[in-house]
Structure 1
């Protein structure tokens, strides 16, 4: 009996030790997970500039725009190339038409002719200049694509933050409605409140739950849109270390206007195209001048060797490329008119974005200056009065709706402020370089 009790005691001790080891293992896993989460929180998420750099490096459309620059650079090499010489070789036997006694024996004759074009230096210089202007236009196109993508990513980041903050707000409202619902249910069960109030509270809770779910789905949709812009280079569950309340510091409007003339990619592209169109006019006009080919010919037969040299001149006597010149002049006029209009339009776009930014800034200051605080204080007073039985559910609900609308307006105003700043940075091509 004693031996059996000893075996039972040993078995229980072993079982206790296994439980201790098991729970220690789980505690270690939990501790490791907590430490890992703490490390991730310490490291933080991605900044807005980090996400912009990732998107600029990973987006395939930018790689395609870079290829256009390479193509334009290759065209400069083609435009700088000298014309190749042409070599003509002919050979064949002589056929006698008279007796051999008079002509002698028949023989083979060979002729080699070398032709080298002497390129018009004015045409060459204009052609190379037009190709180089094409490179500048392609680079400006690439810069425009970069600025557009960086601004789009920035707006998408702040839209994600907007959706996330709205989802958090709807989650808080859902929790508040749930707490009020529980209080009303207790009052109904105790007979202090009519059942109609509980039905109304249930309806508000379901409505709040629906808004909460929709807000979280919109947040995930904004996350997916951001992943699409970065070509999947971001992890699926990324975090952003930014807020809608980030400060917006920009130069004055006059300084931005001065900067825009030398920094806007579209203006730079149109200026490059204007230069290319002007050089094409020079190229077409220079093509009217006569072109010269240098010729050298070597002729050999059984008796003689002949070396001759000469020039071949193409004279534009009947057609002097009037159509090509007129087309180049018209194209230059088109580019010039487009450039003038786009300069005016971009200046107006800058002014419009600046005004939108100032309006959004004033709205943010107005809401942060007291409206939101007053709505929060009113909700706290209504909640306290409801707990004490001095106010009904309707007063709390109305106050909560006022606060919800106020917070939504504040978040929307902050988002519009960041969007206007992103538009200004897009116009002046201000973005983090890869």
Structure 2
């Protein structure tokens, strides 16, 4: 009986505990549901309060200056120029004088001389061969010119890459606009087809085809937007993050660059190209290095003056030391310098030929792009637009099917994409010509 009472009490206590747990759980759920609207409203207000960065419009020259100042590779090349200038200071430094002290104790070994301490002091100065010195300084100065030309090449390459990436971003944005227009057109066609299906004027499968075309247009639009985002990220990467996300390029694919004639460009790139300037400076440095190695065969002089004192006498000493080039005539270093000069000369000749071919290729690409642009703008675009308008009108009057409208729309979209690509290829060819000319914005950004 007692055990039964205990069991009943335990079951009652367990049920009360379960009810209390359920009540507590329901209270917590209701509390959370009551708090969620306030938190969501507060979060929505907080999001709306977040500052939105204003859109910054930047021109291509300003973009190039920004990238040239922010890019780490350009700063590294500038550091190499500073190191080369320090090499000129080292090459022009005079050798330091040498000071020598000596001392000891004199002990007489026979009767007569006086024993005692003796000491001496000497100073010596090496006098360099003037031919060796001038050749060494000239080689260091030529190395400075070579590093400056290398810096100009890095700047021209980066400026050209920034220009190409900027126009690529404009291309992707224009393609995204074209795809948005195609999507709007397909949605309008789909609405008309749906009305025709509902009224019984069109078959059901035409609505299915229209739905498929709308989905395809949406996919192409999303792909174009993603490509535009990638082009934007690549442009920010070239500026080392100095360019914010909220920027727009103040330029157009329709921009035209006034370039000199081809003959003038051929002569200009053979002189102004940074690679040619660098190789010329390196060739001059190698020639002066050869001159330096030949001058090193001639000995340098070393003058020495001093005084030595002992308990009885004081001696004044003057000496002249020089090395006789008897065994080492520096044939090896001279041969190495001559070989380096020949290598640079051959490299310079080949590089000049290569640059001339690159110029010819870029000029032909520019001309082809101009002809394609003229061909599209003067006839093909108008014909494709007219064909689409005729197909749409014929479809509305029931003379043509949906496939004819879709085919005309595809042709127009393809022609517009080809026109945009031709304009971009023109800008790429112009950027390559500017790079070969070694052109980049040289003035600083005014803040």
TM-score by length of 1: 0.87
Please tell me whether residue 88 in structure 1 is matched to residue 100 in structure 2. Answer: yes
Distance 1:382 1:53 in 2: 50
Task: Confirm or deny: 8 A CA contact 1:364 1:414 kept in the other structure.
Answer: yes
Among 194, 199, 202, the alignment partner of 2:203 is 194
Deviation at 1:388, TM superposition (A): 2.9
8 A Cα contact 1:109 1:301, kept in partner: yes
Question: Does structure 1 residue 138 correspond to structure 2 residue 147?
Answer: yes
Q: Secondary structure at the match of 1:250?
A: coil
Provide the residue aligned with 1:360 in structure 2. Answer: 369
Aligned structure 1 segments of 4 or more residues deviating by more than 6 angstroms: none
Query: Is 424-433 or 376-385 further displaced after alignment?
Result: 376-385
Deviation of the 1:365 alpha carbon:
0.7
- Tell me which residue corresponds to 1:57: 69
Instruction: Render the CA deviation track for 1:265-296: whole Å, top value 9, x for unaligned.
Output: 00000000111111111111111112211111
Q: Deviations over 1:285-319 (max 9, x none)?
A: 11111221111122122222111101001011011
Q: Which of residues 135, 152, 155 in structure 1 aligns to 2:164?
A: 155
- Among residues 88, 91, 96, which one is paired with 1:76 in the alignment? 88
C-alpha separation in 2, matches of 1:53 and 1:384? 52
Partner of 1:396: 405
Deviation of 1:102 (Å): 5.6
Aligned to 1:432: 441
Structure 2 CA distance, aligned partners of 1:290 and 1:109? 34
List runs of 5+ in structure 2 lacking aligned partners: 1-47
SS in structure 2 opposite 1:110? strand
Corresponding residue for 1:271?
Answer: 280
| Counterpart residue number, 2:42 | none
Q: Which residue of 2 aligns with 1:125?
A: 134
Structure 1: unaligned runs, 5 residues or longer: 1-28
Secondary structure of 1:231's aligned partner: coil
Q: How high is the TM-score relative to the length of structure 2?
A: 0.85
In the comparison of the two structures, how many residue pairs are matched? 393
**Which of 230, 238, 241 lines up with 1:232 in the alignment?**
241
Q: Do the aligned residues in 2 keep the contact of 1:181 with 1:205 (CA within 8 Å)?
A: yes
In structure 1, the partner of 2:225 is 216
Question: What secondary structure sits across from 1:296 in the alignment?
Answer: strand
State the superposition RMSD in angstroms: 1.8
Distance 1:373 1:86 in 2: 88
Aligned counterpart, 2:392? 383
Q: Secondary structure at the match of 2:58?
A: coil
Does 1:407 pair with 2:419? no
Aligned pairs for 1:248-267 (under 5 A) are: 248-267=257-276
Distance 1:237 1:393 in 2: 41
